Structure 1
Amino acid sequence: MFSRPLTPEQRRILDTLNVAAPPMDEMFAVRLERHFGELYEGLTAVYPDPKTMLGPLLEIMRQRYRERPADLKRLDLERTLAKDWFQRPEMIGYVCYTERFAGSFKGVEKKLDYLQSLGVTYLHLMPFLKPRPAPNDGGYAVMDYRSVREDLGTMDDLQSLATKLRQAGISLCCDLVLNHVAQEHEWAVKARLGDPKYQRYFYMFKDRTLPDQYERTLPEIFPDFAPGNFTWDAQAQRWVWTTFNAWQWDLNWANPEVFLEFADLILWLANKGIEVFRLDAIAFIWKRMGTNCQNQPEVHAITQALRAVARIVAPAVLFKAEAIVAPDDLIQYLGQDVHFGLVSDTAYHNSLMVQIWSSLASRDTRLMAQALRGFPSKPYTTAWNTYLRCHDDIGWAIADDDAAAVGLSGEAHRRFLSDYYSGRFPGSQARGLVFQENPRTGDRRISGSGASLAGLEQALEHGDMQGANLALERLLLGHAIVLGFGGIPLLYMGDELALLNDYRYLEEPEHAMDSRWVHRPRMDWAKAHRAQSDPHSIEGRMYHALRHLIAVRKSTPHFHASIEAEILEPKNPHVFAYVRRHPLGNLVALYNFSEQPQYYPLGQLAERGLTQPFDRISAKSIAVSGGLVRLEPFARLWLTQGEG
C-alpha cells in the first residue's frame, strides 16, 4: 500500500536478477515486483554493497516459496486481499507458556475448545525454540532455531498444532530472538573455536579498549545478576558483547551473512505454520559508539528489508516488535518517515499498561490522559498490542515531562508506584515483588500477577469479600481499557481466572533468583472448570465477565485498529475518557478509577454526537440527571448513540 514505483536503477537490478533466475510463477513475480523497492532500500540503508546480497537472498526466497505448503499459499492470498485481517475487533490474543498451560504441543491441541470459548484468535506460545540448558532467560537464549524444546514435543508436533490452530481460526505467534543467541548455538561454538566466518557473526574483541569505550554510554539491563555488557571468553580469548547475560552472545547485524541467516529462518518457520513473529529484543540489534545502542536507524531499515522478504514469500505473516521504549522511539517500530507502514505490523503499547496501573494506584487519570494524548499517531495499517499484564516485570516508564505537566515529580511518582505495588505504601492492597532494584538509578521494577497487584490476594487472605469484589472490579476495568483502546488485546494466561501470585517458583533452583516467575503460574484447570460451571465463584465471575467484554468488543466495529483512540481532557480527575470516531458514529469510552461513584458531564458526550448515550457493555441506555452521567465505582462504559 505504501510502496513507490521502482527507480530506474532498481528496475535494472531486478531485471538482471530475473534474467539470471526467472520467477517460478506469476504470484511470486508480482509480489517480488511489488516489494522489491522496499527490500532494496532497506538493504541499501545498512549494507555497503547490497547488490552482492541479492543473488543469495533471492535463492533463499525462491527455495522457501517452492517449499511453502498449498494451504499456507492460500492463506497468503486471502490475507493479501484482506489486509486488515489482524486489525478487526474479532482479534483476541492469548499468551501462555506451553508447558504451564497444557504440558506440550499435543496438550495445547486438546485445549483448543477452551481457547475458542474465550474467543481467542491469536495464540502466543512463549519461547519454544530450543534454548540452552537452564539458566536460559526463560527460553530467550536460543541454542537452535530449527528445533523445539524436547519436553514440548517435536517440530512435527509444532507444525501439527499450527495447522489445527489455523483450522480453528487461531494464528500462532512465535518468539524470534534477533539480538543474540545462546553461547551453545552452533554459530557461537564455531566462533569460539576460531572460525573467522562465525567470529564475524558476533562482536568479539581481543582487549578491553573498544568495550570500555562502548560501556561509557551503555545501560545495564540486568544489573543484579548480569552487570556490564561484555564477557571474557577464555576459549576464544576474546571479549564478547553480551547485553543481557554472559551466555547470550549479541549478533553482529552489520554482517550481511547474519541478515541472510534470519531471512531464511523466518521463511522456514513460516512454512511450519508460524503466522506472527514476535521480534524479541529488536531495539538492541544495531550498535553505535557513543549511544545506548538502542533504537538506532538501522534497526528499522533491517526490519523493513526482512518484512519485504516475508511479504514476497509469505505475506500471511505478521511482524510484532518487542520494543519497550519511549513513545517517540516506539512509534518508529510501526514505521515513520521513509519507513511509514513498512516495518513491523504491530507493537506493544507498554505505556497504556503502565498508565492503567499508575491510575489504579493514584485514583487519578490526569497523568494517564497527558501521557497518552501526546502519543504519536501510528500508520493506519498497523495495530497496537494492548495488555494489562504479561510475562515480564513492570518498569515504571513515567516521563518526567508528562509528570511535570500535571504537577507531579516523575521520580517521586515512580518511587510511589514501586512502593505501592510492592505493598510498602500505607494502605496499599497490592502484593507485588521488587525486580532488579538498581541502587545507582533508584529504579525498582515490579513482578506480580494482575490479581495480586489488584488486591485479590490480600483480600482473600483476610477473608475480605468486599476487598475481593473491588479487586475484581479493578481487573475488569483494566481489561475493558485493554479491549476497548484499539488494536490486538492480549490476555495473559490465568488472568481470565484471576490467578494469584505463585510463590512455588522459590522451590525451583533455576527460577528462584528471578521474581518474574511469581506471575508465571501453571494453569489451574480445576479453577478453569469451576469458572465455567460456577459463575458466582471468584474465578467464575472473572471468567464470565471477561468473556462478555470480549463478545461485546467483537460486535463493535468502532474498535477496528485503524482508528485511533482520541484522549479527552479529564473533566473529572477520576474518569478516563476517549472517543473513537467511526463512520457508523462515535464511541466514547468512560472509565471510573475510583472506589466511589463519579460523574461525567453529558455535554461532553453530546459534543461527540451522543445525546442519548447507550452503553454497549450493559446493553442499557444511560440515565442522566442534572446533565451528568453517573459512573459506579470502577465503572466501564462503551457509549454509542441510541441503541446502535
Structure 2
Amino acid sequence: MDVINQLIDEIYDHAFPADCRERLINAIQRTRAALNHQRKTHWDEKDVVLITYADQFRESEAPTLRTLSRFYQQHLQSTFNLVHLLPFFPYSSDDGFSVIDYHQVSAICGDWADIAGLHQHTRLMFDFVCNHMSAHSAWFKQYLAMDPAWNDYFISMPPATDLSGVTRPRTSPLLTPFEMADGTTHFIWTTFSADQIDLNFGNPAVLLTMVDVLLDYLAKGADYVRLDAVGYMWKTPGTSCIHLHKTHLLVKMFRAIANEVAPGTVIITETNVPHKDNISYFGNGHDEAQMVYQFSLPPLVLHAIHNGSSRALKQWAASLDQGGGATTFFNFLASHDGIGLNPLRGILPETEIVSLVRDLAMEGALISYKNNPDGTTSPYEINVTYMDALNKKDDSDDTRLLRFLLAHALLLAFPGVPAIYVQSILGSRNDIEGVKAAGHNRAINREKYAISAIEADLSDPQSLRHRVYHALSHLIRIRIRQPAFHPDAPMEVLESDNALLVMRRRTKNDEGPLLCVYNLSARAIAWTPPESQRYRDIVHDEIVDGEQPLTLAPWHWLWLKS
C-alpha cells in the first residue's frame, strides 16, 4: 500500500481527504480478500488475442454473449487464448465507448453470469473507459440536476477560456453547452464528442468512483485491462492536456492497485499518438503499463505493402526497444477504430502520409480529420477494413488473400503479444451500408452479423471468408508452437533488398532461431540466406537449401527454422 499512498500524495499535492483515502484503501483490501481468480503470471508465444464486440454475433432470443461463447468454442478456441471484449456495458453512442453504467452488462449481451460463462473457456480483457462517460449516464444527469454530490465530477469552463493549446483528436468542439437545472448554461469538456463527457480526476471523489470500477472489473475476472483514451485523463488549461505528468501518475495508480489486488493483471494503455509518446506509458519499465498498443505497426505495414518497400518499416523495426521482459507491445493491424495516422508522424514525411491517404481514399476508404492548433485540419485516421486497405477494388480474391496473409505473417512475427480483430479473422470487407445507417466513418469496420450467415460463409470453400479464416487460423497455430516467437525473444533486422524485410527471432538459449523473410512487392525477388545451411520452412513443412538463392514470389514470405 505504500506505493498507492505515495501516488495519492503526489497526484493530489498532499491534499487528498483522509476519509477518501480510508475508503479507497478499504475497498482495495476488501477486493483483494474476496478475489479467487488466479492470473497467468507472464506472457508467452501462445498468447494471441481476439478483439471482438460482445454483440458481434446474433441469433434470435439468445443473449449475444452466449452466441459469442458458442462460436468461440467451435471456431476460435484452438487459435486464440484471450478475448478482448470491447465495451459490453449500456451505452448511448460510439458502439460502446460512451458508457451509461460501468457496472452493468448491456441487456442485449446478457449479464455478468454470461461474462463468467465465457471466462470458463478463455482469459478476458475488459475495456476501462476511464477518460469519459455518456451524457445519458445517471452521473451526468445528477450533475445537470445540480446535486451537490456530483458538483465537480465533470469539467465546466467559461467559453472564453483560451484552450487553443489543447491537443485535439477530433474536429468537434472541445466545450459543449448543457443546460443546468437552474436554467444556466455550462460549457462542459468533451474531448471526443458531445455525448462523451470527460471526467474530472482533479476531484478526489472521481478517483474513488473510478477505482471502484477498476476493482469491480478485477473482481469479475479481467485478466487484461485496457485503459481507453488514457492520455487525456488530466486537464490543465494552458497546456496540451495530453500525456501530462499526473496522467502518468494515474496510470501508475491503476497499475499499483492491480498489482495489490490481482497480481498478474496486465494494464494496457491505448494512446493513438506518435511512437515516442506512446512508449512513455511504459514508465520505468516496472511502474506503469506492462503493454502499450503498438499503434505505429498498422500504418507502417500498410505503407510497406502499398509501396512495395521495407524502407520505413525496416528502419522503425530496427529501432524498437524490446522491453527486456518487464514490458512488451500489444501488436495489432486492425481494430474497432480506423488506422491511426498520428503514429506515422515523426517516422514518415507528411507528403508520404498524404499520398497514402489519397491513394486509399480513391479505393473507397474514408478519412477522419483532427483540428490543429493553427486552425487547420489534418488526416487523423483511415477508416477501412484492413482487407480493403491492402487491396484495390478490382483485385482478385487470390491477390487479396496473398497481401492479407503477408501482413498478418508480419504481425505475428514482431516482438509482443499479437491481437487479431474479429473482422480480420472473418475476412470482412468495407461495410458501406453500415456507414450510411450509423452516420459515422468508423462503422465501415464494425459490422455485426447474424450467426447463421457467418457460419454459412465459413462452410463455403469458395468464399473469401472461408479462405481467410482457415489460412489465418493455420498461420496462428503454427506461430504459437514456436518459442522463438515468445514476446520477450529478441529480434534482429537484417540487411536486405528494399523490397524485402528480413528478421531473425532468437530463443533465450538460441535454440531454433527463426528467419522471417517477406517480399513486400508485386515482383519475384531472389534472396540468399545469411548462413549456408539447410532450413525447414515451418509454414509449408518443407526443407529449404540455404546454399542456393531462393526466389520469393510476389507477396510471399518464409518462416525458416535453423
What's the TM-score, normalizing by structure 2? 0.91
Change (3 A) 1:399 1:555: closer
1:293 and 2:241 correspond: yes
Cα shift at 1:524: 6.2
Task: Show CA shifts across 1:552-593 (max 9, x none).
Answer: 111001111123433334x21111122223222432211111
1:600 and 2:527 correspond: yes
Change (3 A) 1:399 1:184: closer
Change (3 A) 1:401 1:280: closer
| Separation in structure 2 between the aligned mates of residue 358 and residue 141 of structure 1, nearest angstrom | 32
1:321 and 2:269 correspond: yes
Matched with 2:379 is: 443
8 A Cα contact 2:306 2:390, kept in partner? no
Matched with 2:356 is: 417
Structure 2: which amino acid aligns with 1:517?
A
| Separation in structure 2 between the aligned mates of residue 222 and residue 401 of structure 1, nearest angstrom | 20
| Separation in structure 2 between the aligned mates of residue 354 and residue 297 of structure 1, nearest angstrom | 28
| Separation in structure 2 between the aligned mates of residue 232 and residue 530 of structure 1, nearest angstrom | 48
Instruction: Give 1:476's match in structure 2, choosing from 405, 413, 424.
Output: 405
Matched with 2:434 is: 505
1:627-642 equivalence runs, <5 A: 628-641=549-562
| Separation in structure 2 between the aligned mates of residue 565 and residue 323 of structure 1, nearest angstrom | 24
1:119-198 equivalence runs, <5 A: 119-132=79-92, 136-153=93-110, 157=111, 159-168=112-121, 170-198=122-150
SS of residue paired to 2:555 = coil
Structure 2: which amino acid aligns with 1:589?
C
Matched with 2:298 is: 353
What is the RMSD computed on CA atoms of the aligned residues? 2.4
Cα shift at 1:179: 0.8
Runs (5+) with no aligned partner, structure 2: none
| Separation in structure 2 between the aligned mates of residue 580 and residue 172 of structure 1, nearest angstrom | 28
Task: Show CA shifts across 1:42-97 (max 9, x none).
Answer: 323312225835322121112223443x4x2xx24xx3xxx21xx21111211122
SS of residue paired to 1:599 = strand
Bigger Rg, structure 1 or 2 = 1
Task: Show CA shifts across 1:314-367 (max 9, x none).
Answer: 22432221111111111122223xxx2222222211101110001111111101
SS of residue paired to 1:521 = coil
| Separation in structure 2 between the aligned mates of residue 540 and residue 600 of structure 1, nearest angstrom | 32
| Separation in structure 1 between the aligned mates of residue 379 and residue 541 of structure 2, nearest angstrom | 44
Structure 1: which amino acid aligns with 2:174?
N
Matched with 2:319 is: 374
Matched with 1:562 is: 488
Cα shift at 1:537: 4.1
Matched with 1:515 is: 441
Task: Show CA shifts across 1:123-174 (max 9, x none).
Answer: 1222211113xxx122211111111222222xxx3x3233333322x11222
Matched with 2:541 is: 619
Cα shift at 1:471: 1.2
Change (3 A) 1:587 1:494: same
Structure 2: which amino acid aligns with 1:113?
Q
Cα shift at 1:37: 3.6
Q: Which has the higher helix share?
A: 1
Cα shift at 1:261: 1.3
8 A Cα contact 1:377 1:564, kept in partner? yes
Cα shift at 1:531: 5.9
| Separation in structure 1 between the aligned mates of residue 243 and residue 354 of structure 2, nearest angstrom | 26
| Separation in structure 2 between the aligned mates of residue 527 and residue 632 of structure 1, nearest angstrom | 35
8 A Cα contact 2:295 2:343, kept in partner? no
| Separation in structure 2 between the aligned mates of residue 599 and residue 622 of structure 1, nearest angstrom | 14
8 A Cα contact 2:272 2:340, kept in partner? no
8 A Cα contact 2:170 2:370, kept in partner? no
| Separation in structure 1 between the aligned mates of residue 343 and residue 333 of structure 2, nearest angstrom | 16
8 A Cα contact 1:96 1:125, kept in partner? yes
1:68-467 equivalence runs, <5 A: 68=35, 70=36, 72=37, 75-76=38-39, 79=40, 83-84=41-42, 87-102=43-58, 104-132=64-92, 136-153=93-110, 157=111, 159-168=112-121, 170-205=122-157, 207-209=158-160, 212-213=161-162, 215-223=163-171, 226=172, 228-235=173-180, 237-336=185-284, 340-378=285-323, 380-397=325-342, 399=344, 401-403=346-348, 410-423=349-362, 430-436=363-369, 440-443=376-379, 445-455=381-391, 457-459=393-395, 467=396
| Separation in structure 2 between the aligned mates of residue 115 and residue 221 of structure 1, nearest angstrom | 37
Cα shift at 1:416: 0.9
* Identity among equivalent pairs (%): 24
Structure 1, 477-486 or 94-103: larger mean CA deviation: 94-103
8 A Cα contact 1:530 1:539, kept in partner? no
8 A Cα contact 2:291 2:329, kept in partner? yes
8 A Cα contact 1:616 1:638, kept in partner? yes
Change (3 A) 1:95 1:489: same
Aligned length: 548
SS of residue paired to 2:216 = helix
Matched with 1:426 is: none
What's the TM-score, normalizing by structure 1? 0.80
Change (3 A) 1:598 1:258: same
1:4-83 equivalence runs, <5 A: 36-49=1-14, 50=16, 52=18, 53-68=20-35, 70=36, 72=37, 75-76=38-39, 79=40, 83=41
| Separation in structure 1 between the aligned mates of residue 179 and residue 97 of structure 2, nearest angstrom | 23
| Separation in structure 2 between the aligned mates of residue 370 and residue 126 of structure 1, nearest angstrom | 33
Structure 1: which amino acid aligns with 2:472?
L
Runs (5+) with no aligned partner, structure 1: 1-35, 404-409, 424-429, 460-466
8 A Cα contact 1:535 1:544, kept in partner? no
Cα shift at 1:534: 4.8
Cα shift at 1:437: 7.2
SS of residue paired to 1:144 = coil
Cα shift at 1:102: 3.6
| Separation in structure 2 between the aligned mates of residue 536 and residue 506 of structure 1, nearest angstrom | 27
8 A Cα contact 2:504 2:514, kept in partner? yes
Cα shift at 1:540: 2.5
